[in-house]
Amino acid sequence: MSILGTRVVRTEDPRLLTAGGTYVDDVRVPELAGAARVTFVRSPMAHARITGIDASAARDAPGVVAVLTYRDINDIPPPPPPPEGGPPPGSEAAPLPLGGPWQEPLLAVDKVRFVGESVAIVLTDGSYQGEDAAELVTVDYEPLPAVVGIDAALAGGTLLFPDAGSNVPVAHPAGDLAFDGCDVVVEREIVNQRVAPVPMEGRATAASWVDGKLTVWVSTQNAQISRFILAGAFGLDPGAIRVIAPDVGGGFGAKVALDRDAIVVAWAARHTGRALRWVETRSENLTGMTHGRAQRHAIKIGGTRDGRVLAYRLDVVQDTGAYPRMGGFLPTLTNLMAAGPYDIAHVGAGYRVVVTTTTPISAYRGAGRPEATAAIERAMDLFAAEIGMDPADVRRKNLVPSDRFPYHTPTGAVYDTGDYVGGLDKVLAGAGYADLRAEQARRRKRGDAVQLGIGVSSYVEITAADAEGGETARVEVHDDGTAMVYTGSSAHGQGHHTAWAMIVQADLGIPMDKVTVKHGDTDEIPLGTGTYASRSLQLGGVAVHRANLEVREQARKLAADLMEASEADLELDTDTGRWQVRGDPGSSRTWADVASHAGAEGLTAFVHYTDGAPTFPFGSHVAVAEVDTETGKVTLVRHVTVDDAGTVLNPVLTEGQRHGGIAQGVAQALLEEMVYDADGNPLTGTLVDYAAITAAELPSFELLVSETPATVNPLGAKGIGEAGTIGATPAMQSAVIDALSHLGIRHIDMPTTPMRVWTAISEARASQ
Amino acid sequence: MKLTVMVNGRQVAAEVEDRTLLVHFVRDVAGLTATNIGCDTSSCGACTVLLDGQSVKSCTVLAAQADGCEVVTVEGLAGPDGELHPMQSAFHAEHGLQCGFCTPGMVMAAVSLLRENPAPTEEQVRSGLEGNLCRCTGYHNIVRAVLAAAEAGAEVTR
Amino acid sequence: MIPASFSYKRAWSADEALDLAAQHGDDAKFLAGGHSLLPLMKLRLAVPEILVDIGRLPEFSYIRDDDGHIAVGTLTTYHDLARSSLLASELPLLAHAAGQVGDPQVRHRGTIGGSLAHADPAADLPAVILALDATLVARGPAGRRDIGAGEFFRGLFETALEPGELLTEIRFPKPQAAGWSFQKFTKRAIDWAIVGVAVQGDRVALVNMGQRPLRASGVERALSGGAGPRDAAAHAAEGTRPPHDINADSGYREHLARVLVARALEESRSRA
């Protein structure tokens, strides 16, 4: 009986619950004994010329080791030039990050372009001294006009990068699309607002140079990629660098690879010859860590009066913040997934990227795909409202039928497997959709102050989009019968150690408590990709599985020799973890026996699994909201979901990912927004004002089971990490609008704060 | 200033700057790094410990204010033989943690919650944890863990 | 994240606290629960040179039935206020409102005296003691002073307390008029009130509708003229100057005040 598919609690937990995790600020190793503390001096201005930096008072402050600015960065290679002629012809992806005229300095040189930009660093013996000294660094700023919002960027009155000639680093506008033959066409401009990832642990890096070799501890999702970035930054061979990802307190895409401030810390450690540690504060994090989303959508949907959608056009403007980092790439994913789970004959998608004097944008749970789903789901609801059809019925009519897979979208995606209609029907049944509509009708008839809204979303998303990069695994079985897995994946809460140990137990019969999993140390695992794009189970887990199979075949040979039997007569009982001659239990040997027979090279296999392919999880959500029409306050009452990511390895882990995803998705629809004033000052710069969602705002979720296996990998797995977020946001937003549709309200932008909702209600009532 | 705080049953005496926050005393002087710092506006609760039996945000308490007092952190919950406290067991059984960063503070807040209300409703658990942010779990399993610990009853007030 | 340096002094008696305050003048601030002051200090928006810790003076933590009034020591925490059976029967408005402040951790440390002395117009208890017609007892170099709640709150973070004066007790007349309600409107449960309403009998006080807590005098006049809850509530925003921030503009606050006052009056009547 395989352990795969069963509920297994995590092996990671006992340590985390008793001694606590070891995050960068907790690392206590000899190399960091006496490490100085790094405090960044950051710009309080959104856009300004720097006319002087005076660090003299700071340098004299107690405990100060050094105060460093861009002038001191004279000992590393300059950034590489951008590819000649710009992005390769026909390429839809902007190279990341853009260099040339858009080059981002490590520490500000003559200009700052967002509040929070790094200007200088102060190194002190003690951490408290850092803030004291940083206050004494005087930076003279000559203000420049801020550029806040997409319209200001497009207007081009003020350029962030005058040498670039515009505020638009990338433009691939949607072409014309024919809406002939559509009885009904609806157009709207909608906002997918800027949010902050807010991992509970912010950014943190420690660095130590010893004899020309650099060791960096960093809160990252990708230790190996970080090593390559550092190698490039310092002009070093990667072998001279060790990157360690200790426990990481959440990432959500914002800790992909290496933050630029981490490079500054590593550089400063070499420059001063002192080990350093930097742990950002939350206020720093809210403006210094990249933000997510920040797209504006022009959506146009057309179809027949009986509910068939014939054409859909999505034009995205991505506000990428002050520097085009990954933000320049995300809209390509939005465009790719523009059609959602629907069979629409004509789909056109395009995008532009603009820079503004705000925090740069990068990946955040879903990274470009939540935006696509939010847009098509709004479009479907607007279309449904226009033709007076139930939004669930419109979806059912247009979802890709189950006999059409693999399904090729007009945008170039190939959906592998799915049961979209089944998922929709399952969630509607689970939610008791008809009863909900009846309750809604009752409340409307009574004219209740508190109205009920039902939001339905259907989605498909792409996971392991970069499958060709693959993932690595090395599996070793030791002389004592224990096993070690070295994985290229990089869990920061996902429970990979538990999941990979389950795979070893399933494949080799070595019990989980004898399996140790390691990740995140480039000395032990020099090759690997890490964790993002919901790729780890379907690539990293499969790599472990493949390595297990290779170990099994090596072991077969060893066992045959040890037991003086032919390989063909040997079998491995994965329930007991014993090798035996078929039909002769008395012959059985343990893994310890077999591994001991391996000799000096040991019993080990390494796999770099690159045969995977992107997969397409899908699902449907129903959100039930109560809206107090006298105040605009929204309460999420129920949230029911189908999130189908193929074969489930461990329902405990999958459910946890769905819960967390749903919460963040609901949070964007209901509460969270990074707000800037017209001068580029963040108005939500602390957790008092940035409304991160708490337990009190959420109900328990109702998760339904659906497993439509992937066919492109032996585990049947797709990625679950981001799916919950992608489905939840539009369902929540839709529920709020649905609660008020009887007032004639067709749209409310996110977040549906009480004031925004009440404003929509008052305007609707006034126009009646 | 000189002060002495009993942390997890052990007297910790030190001379520290007057402005030392209790959370830094716990982490850097007492050497107990499970308790984490997640914000700078007393909003997130990651730093929650018990101070004389009540949950407090240790980032918003001066070490000086805890002079002569008793602090309990998550490292002090398990029994002398390593036996998990029912709250720790419940978090484990119910998958109430993912990255683990909010967990020490969340567990201590939950222990304090059950001390004051041994049989809470789901709604009371949710509002009782409103001072503790989690980004990973969506709170669903945390709530289940606290309700399960409440069912386990008895030992919770250790 | 870290306060600027200061010198910490623990006061072992009220007299000692007053002496230290007199000695250091403007350079010193009292520290009670610290949940108004320390957050400001951590952001370096407040940089006192001396902190006089009065937080553990046991003589200021009590809730007593004191012959014609309820006396509450200023160092009583929100937690103790919320759990007090005496308050539950005599001043349920105060008990209930105290239980809504912040979150459990904040309520274990924050004190009623600290909240009132800090005088944040978005705080709940100032409006509550207005609605309860309380008297604040202060002690200073010139001796004891009794200050009516209506005179105590002067403006944004500004009270009638003189330099060097310490709040020692809040006195609530007993019995209070029948019926009470507390309506706190927030985005999230832990947020400060966007608008709040405290009602005791026919006294109505507003949270966050100006630079200090306000009595809704237009409402009270209408009630005394015989108006019902909804009609009286129509006057809720009169005489107010509500702030404009990312959660609400003034117009929305005025609307919320009307809605919440109506609900508060209806609830209060159902309890009377």
- Give the pLDDT confidence of A487-516 residue by residue, as tens digits: 999 999 999 999 999 999 999 999 999 999
Query: So what's the pLDDT on residue A327?
Result: 82
Per-residue pLDDT band at A82 (split at 50, 70, 90): low
Are A13 and B92 in contact (CB < 8 Å)?
A: yes
Query: So what's the pLDDT on residue C115?
Result: 97
Instruction: Give yes or no: residues C187 and C154 share one domain.
Output: no
Residue in A671, A758, A759 nearest the CB of C188: A671
Range of the domain at C136: 58-173
3-state SS, residue A216: strand
Query: So what's the pLDDT on residue A89?
Result: 40
Residue that is last in its domain, among C126, C153, C173: C173
State the smallest CA–CA distance between residue A156 and chain C in angstroms. 27
Are A683 and C246 in contact (CB < 8 Å)?
A: yes
Does the interface ipTM go beyond 0.85? yes
Q: What's the mean pLDDT when you consider all of chain B?
A: 96
Q: Is residue C213 part of a domain?
A: yes
Residue that is last in its domain, among C173, C195, C229: C173
> How distant, in Å, are the alpha carbons of A273, A450, A638 from that of A431?
62, 20, 8
Q: Is residue C127 part of a domain?
A: yes
Query: So what's the pLDDT on residue C257?
Result: 98
Q: Is residue C118 part of a domain?
A: yes
Contacts of B137 in chain A (CB under 8 A): 656, 659-660, 663
**Average pLDDT of A567-594?**
95
A570-573 and A515-519 beta bridge pairing? unpaired
- Closest to A22 (Cα-Cα) out of A201, A251, A249, A247: A247
pLDDT digits (tens, 9 = 90+) for C219-233: 999 999 999 999 999
Instruction: Give yes or no: residues C185 and C160 share one domain.
Output: no
Instruction: Give yes or no: residues C200 and C266 share one domain.
Output: yes
Backbone angles phi, psi at A273, to 5 degrees: 70, 20
**Average pLDDT of C52-74?**
95
Contacts of B141 in chain A (CB under 8 A): 655-656, 659
Q: Which two tokens stand for residue C243?
A: 């702030």
- Closest to C114 (Cα-Cα) out of C45, C33, C213: C33
Number of other residues whose CB lies within 10 A of the CB of residue A268? 24
Measured CA to CA, the distance from residue A423 to residue A116 in angstroms comes to: 44
Residue that is last in its domain, among C124, C147, C173: C173
- Closest to A67 (Cα-Cα) out of A33, A107, A113, A114: A107
pLDDT digits (tens, 9 = 90+) for B20-65: 999 999 999 999 999 999 999 999 999 999 999 999 999 999 999 9
Q: Is the pLDDT of residue A88 over 80?
A: no
Q: Which residue of A has its CA nearest to B74?
A: A18
Query: So what's the pLDDT on residue A76?
Result: 87
Per-residue pLDDT band at A78 (split at 50, 70, 90): confident
Instruction: Give yes or no: residues C186 and C253 share one domain.
Output: yes
Instruction: Give yes or no: residues C26 and C88 share one domain.
Output: no
pLDDT digits (tens, 9 = 90+) for A22-65: 999 999 999 999 999 999 999 999 999 999 999 999 999 999 99
Q: Is residue C196 part of a domain?
A: yes
Dihedral of the alpha carbons of C44, C46, C52, C54, in degrees to the nearest 10: -100
Q: What's the mean pLDDT when you consider all of chain A?
A: 96
Query: So what's the pLDDT on residue A77?
Result: 84
Query: So what's the pLDDT on residue A97?
Result: 63
Percent of chain A residues past pLDDT 90, beyond the cut: 94
- Closest to C96 (Cα-Cα) out of C106, C83, C109, C115: C83
Q: Is the pLDDT of residue A96 over 60?
A: no
CB-based contact A473:A544 (threshold 8 Å): yes
**Number of folded domains that form chain C:** 3
Query: So what's the pLDDT on residue A715?
Result: 97
Q: Is the pLDDT of residue A86 over 80?
A: no
Q: Is residue C193 part of a domain?
A: yes
Instruction: Give yes or no: residues C35 and C125 share one domain.
Output: no
CATH code where residue C49 lies: 3.30.43.10
Percent of chain A residues past pLDDT 70, beyond the cut: 98
Residue in C7, C42, C51 nearest the CB of B40: C42
pLDDT digits (tens, 9 = 90+) for C85-124: 999 999 999 999 999 999 999 999 999 999 999 999 999 9
Query: So what's the pLDDT on residue A94?
Result: 41
Q: Is residue C1 part of a domain?
A: no
Contacting B residues, span 129-158, partner chain A, CB-CB under 8 Å: 129-144
Instruction: Give yes or no: residues C138 and C95 share one domain.
Output: yes
Q: Is the pLDDT of residue A66 over 50?
A: yes
Query: So what's the pLDDT on residue A95?
Result: 44
Of the residues C105, C187, C191, the best mutation for testing chain B's interface (the one with the most B CB atoms within 10 Å of its CB) is C105
The reported pTM is 0.97
Query: So what's the pLDDT on residue A90?
Result: 36
Q: Is residue C230 part of a domain?
A: yes
Are A696 and C190 in contact (CB < 8 Å)?
A: yes
Query: So what's the pLDDT on residue A93?
Result: 39
**Average pLDDT of A455-473?**
97
The domains located in chain B, with CATH, are: 2-75 (3.10.20.30), 86-153 (1.10.150.120)
A637 touches B: beta carbon within 8 Å: no
CATH code where residue C94 lies: 3.30.465.10
Residue-by-residue DSSP string for chain B: -EEEEEETTEEEEEE--TT-BHHHIIIIIS---SS----SSS-S-TTEEEETTEEEEGGGSBGGGGTT-EEE-GGGTS-TT-PPPHHHHHHHHTT--SS-SSHHHHHHHHHHHHHH-SS--HHHHHHHTTT---SSSTTHHHHHHHHHHHHH-GGGG-
CATH code where residue C189 lies: 3.30.390.50
Are C8 and B64 in contact (CB < 8 Å)?
A: yes
Q: Which residue of C has its CA nearest to B128?
A: C104
Q: Is the pLDDT of residue C235 over 50?
A: yes
**Average pLDDT of B73-95?**
96
Are A633 and C185 in contact (CB < 8 Å)?
A: yes
Measured CA to CA, the distance from residue B5 to residue A360 in angstroms comes to: 44
Measured CA to CA, the distance from residue A391 to residue C105 in angstroms comes to: 44
Contacts of B62 in chain C (CB under 8 A): 8, 31, 34, 38, 51, 53
Contacts of A131 in chain C (CB under 8 A): 1-2, 44
C69 touches B: beta carbon within 8 Å: no
Q: Is the pLDDT of residue A212 over 80?
A: yes
Contacts of B75 in chain A (CB under 8 A): 18-20
Instruction: Give yes or no: residues C114 and C154 share one domain.
Output: yes
Q: Which residues pair with A277 in a beta bridge?
A: A37, A206
List all chains that touch chain B, counting a touch as 3 or more CB pairs closer than 8 Å.
A, C
Q: Is residue C2 part of a domain?
A: no
Q: Which residue of B has its CA nearest to C33?
A: B61
* Cβ-proximal residues to A294 (8 Å cutoff; 6+ apart), any chain: A192, A193, A194, A318, A319, A320, A321, A327, A361
Instruction: Give yes or no: residues C26 and C68 share one domain.
Output: no
State the smallest CA–CA distance between residue C93 and chain A in angstroms. 22
Q: Is the pLDDT of residue B154 over 70?
A: no
**Average pLDDT of A254-266?**
96
C108 touches B: beta carbon within 8 Å: yes
Of the residues B77, B125, B140, B143, the best mutation for testing chain A's interface (the one with the most A CB atoms within 10 Å of its CB) is B140
The domains located in chain A, with CATH, are: 467-609 (3.30.365.10)
Instruction: Give yes or no: residues C187 and C245 share one domain.
Output: yes
Q: Which residue of C has its CA nearest to A693?
A: C188
Edge-first strand order for the sheet with C143-148 is C63-65, C69-73, C166-173, C135-140, C143-148
Q: Is the pLDDT of residue A690 over 60?
A: yes
Q: Which residue of B has its CA nearest to A199?
A: B135
**Average pLDDT of A469-493?**
97
pLDDT digits (tens, 9 = 90+) for A420-450: 999 999 999 999 999 999 999 999 999 999 9
Instruction: Give yes or no: residues C63 and C156 share one domain.
Output: yes
Contacts of A688 in chain C (CB under 8 A): 192
State the smallest CA–CA distance between residue A128 and chain C in angstroms. 6
Residue-by-residue DSSP string for A679-730: TS-BS--STTTS----GGG----EEEP-----SSSTT-B---TTHHHHHHHH
Instruction: Give yes or no: residues C65 and C163 share one domain.
Output: yes
**Average pLDDT of A660-679?**
98
Q: Is the pLDDT of residue A555 over 90?
A: yes
